[in-house]
Structure 1
C-alpha cells in the first residue's frame, strides 16, 4: 500500500510540473528557431550546430556521471561561446539592439528578406556595362557590392546619401560624372538596389604601390574591415578596372574577366544553404495542424458553432 502511495505522489509531482516543462521546451524551440532564422550562411550554421552538439554532450555527460568528460566539455563550450561572440559580433549586436527596442519580430522579418535576396544576371550585366563605359571614358568610380550580410553603416567613415533605386548602368554613369555632387564617394549596391551614393570609406593602412590612388586604397580599406563585400574600382588616370576583396586588389581586369569574377562571387552568395524557406513552410504547416487540432476539441468546436449561430 505504501509503495502505491509513493508512486501516486511521484506521478502527482510530475503532473504538477508539466506546464513548466512544456513552457521550457517551447522557449527552447523558439530560441533555436530564432537562431536558425538569423543564420543563413552554411559555414556559420555548421558552427552553431557544432556548438549545440558540444552543449548537449556536456549536459548528457554531467547527468550520466562522467565528471572528467563533463569538465572538459564545459570548458570547450565556454571557449566556443567566446569565439562565436567574436565571429558573429555583427549578428549578436543587431539581435541585442532589436531586443532592447522590442522589435524582435521585425528582426526576423528583416533577416528573412535579406537571406532571400540574390543578385540576378541582369544586375551583373548592368554593373559590367557601367564599369566598361566608365573605364573607356576614364571616369573614376568606386562601387561596393554586398555578397552576403548587409554592411553596418558604422564601418563607413560617412554613410552617404540614401537612394534606394534600381541598379542600372545609366544611374551609375550619372552618379560618377565629375559634375555631380556624389561622384567623389562610393556607391553601395545591395541585391538589385543602389542603396546609397557618396559613401566615404576608410583608407587602408597597408603599404601599397604609389600608382594606386585614394579610390584603390579605400576599396582595400573597406574589404579589410568587412568580409561580405567586394569593391569595384575604375582608375580616373588610366581607366583600368580593379576589384578589391579581402583587402587585396585584383588588377587589371577586362570587362569579360570582371563578369566572370562577379558571376562566381555572387553565385556563391545566392546559392548558400538558407534554412529560412523550410522554416517558414514548417511554421505554416504547424499553424494549420494546430488549428485543425483545436477545431477537433469538443470545447473549441462547440464555442465556434455558437459563434456562427
Structure 2
C-alpha cells in the first residue's frame, strides 16, 4: 500500500514538473509573439507550439523515431522564424536587455484618431496628384503606434497639421523630400522623406520602387496602410499586409480607408485573442491539476 502511494506521488510530481516545463515554453513563445506584435507570426507561432506539444508527447510515450523527427522540426522551425523575423526578434532582445519588456505588452493606441476630415484631405490630395501624374507615397498609421525603427531611414521630422496643400507641396519634384514617403499619424504629418524597406516578393519586382516600398513596410508591420500614386500612369494603389489593391478610383480609395479606419472596437486585435487563448489554456491546466491533487475547486 505504501509502495502504491509512493508511486502515485512520484508519478504526480513527475507529471507536474513536465507540465510546468511545457507551460513555461508555451508562455515564453507567447511573450515573444506579444513583444514583436506582428500578425504574420500568429499562425507560425501556433504551428511551433503544436510541434513542441507533439514532441513532448512523443517523448512521454517513448516514440523514439517520431520524437527525434519532431525535435529536429522544432529546432528548424525556430531557426527559420529567427531568420524571417530577425528584426522583430532583435527588437525583443533589445527590450529585454534594457528592462523595457513589460511596457511592450500593453496595447499602445494612437495619440490621435484619423478623422473623416483627415481622410477627405488625404483623398483630395491623392486625386489631384493622380490627375497631375505626380508620384507619391504615404504611410497612414492605423490602430497602434508604429515603431519608426521599421523604416530604413526615419526621414525629416515635420509634426505639421495635415492639409491637402502640404501633401501636394511635399511631392512636387522640385522639393528635396519628394522621393521619400510621408508618414501620417491621425491629423498630423509626422515626417517626410521617409525611406522604406523594399519587398523581396517576385511579383513586386515588376513594380516601381514606390509600390515595392509600400508592400515592404506593410509586410513588416500591420500598423499601417500605404497609398501610392504612380508617376508614370497616375494610377492609385493601396497597400496593406504586403498586398496591393490597384488600380483604384479616388472614391474607391476613400471607401477602403473609411472601412480600414473604422472604430478600433469593431476590429479584433491579435493580443486580446492571444490573452483569451492563454487564459482558457491556463484555466484548463489548473482545473486538471486540482483534480489530480484532489483539491477543492473555487465556486
Query: TM-score scaled to structure 1, two decimals?
Result: 0.62
Partner of 2:95: 98
**Residue 222, structure 1, aligned to residue 213, structure 2:** yes
Partner of 2:270: 274
186, 190, 193: which one aligns with 1:195: 190
- The verdict on how the C-alpha distance between 1:122 and 1:44 changes in structure 2, with shifts beyond 3 A counting, is farther
Cα distance in 1 for partners of 2:135, 2:70 equals 55
2:178 is the alignment partner of 1:186: no
Report what 1:63 is aligned to: 60
Name the structure 2 match of 1:144.
139
Aligned residues of 2:196 and 2:213 also touching (Cα < 8 A)? yes
Q: 1:58 deviation in Å?
A: 0.9
Structure 1 residues 19 and 118, CA gap change in structure 2 (3 angstroms): farther
SS at match of 2:270: coil
For the pair shown, which has the larger CA radius of gyration, 1 or 2?
Answer: 1
**TM-score normalised to the size of structure 2?**
0.63
Name the CA shift for 1:49/1:74 in 2 (closer, same or farther; >3 Å). same
State the match for 1:291 in structure 2: none
Per the alignment, residue 307 of structure 1 pairs with none
**Do 2:211 and 2:228's aligned partners in 1 also have CA atoms closer than 8 Å?**
no
Aligned length: 267
The alignment yields a C-alpha RMSD, in angstroms, of 4.8
Write out aligned runs for 1:1-309 (5 A).
4=2, 27-28=24-25, 30-35=27-32, 37-38=34-35, 44-109=41-106, 112-113=107-108, 121-136=116-131, 140-145=135-140, 150=146, 153=149, 155-156=151-152, 158-164=153-159, 167-176=162-171, 182-190=177-185, 193-201=188-196, 217-223=208-214, 225-226=216-217, 227=219, 228=221, 231-234=226-229, 240-243=234-237, 245=239, 246=242, 250-251=246-247, 253-263=248-258, 271-276=267-272, 279=275
Contact 2:159 2:189 in 1 (8 A): yes
Structure 1 198/166 Cα, relative in aligned 2: closer, same or farther at 3 Å?
A: same
Structure 1 gaps, min length 5: 209-215, 287-309
Contact 2:199 2:216 in 1 (8 A): no
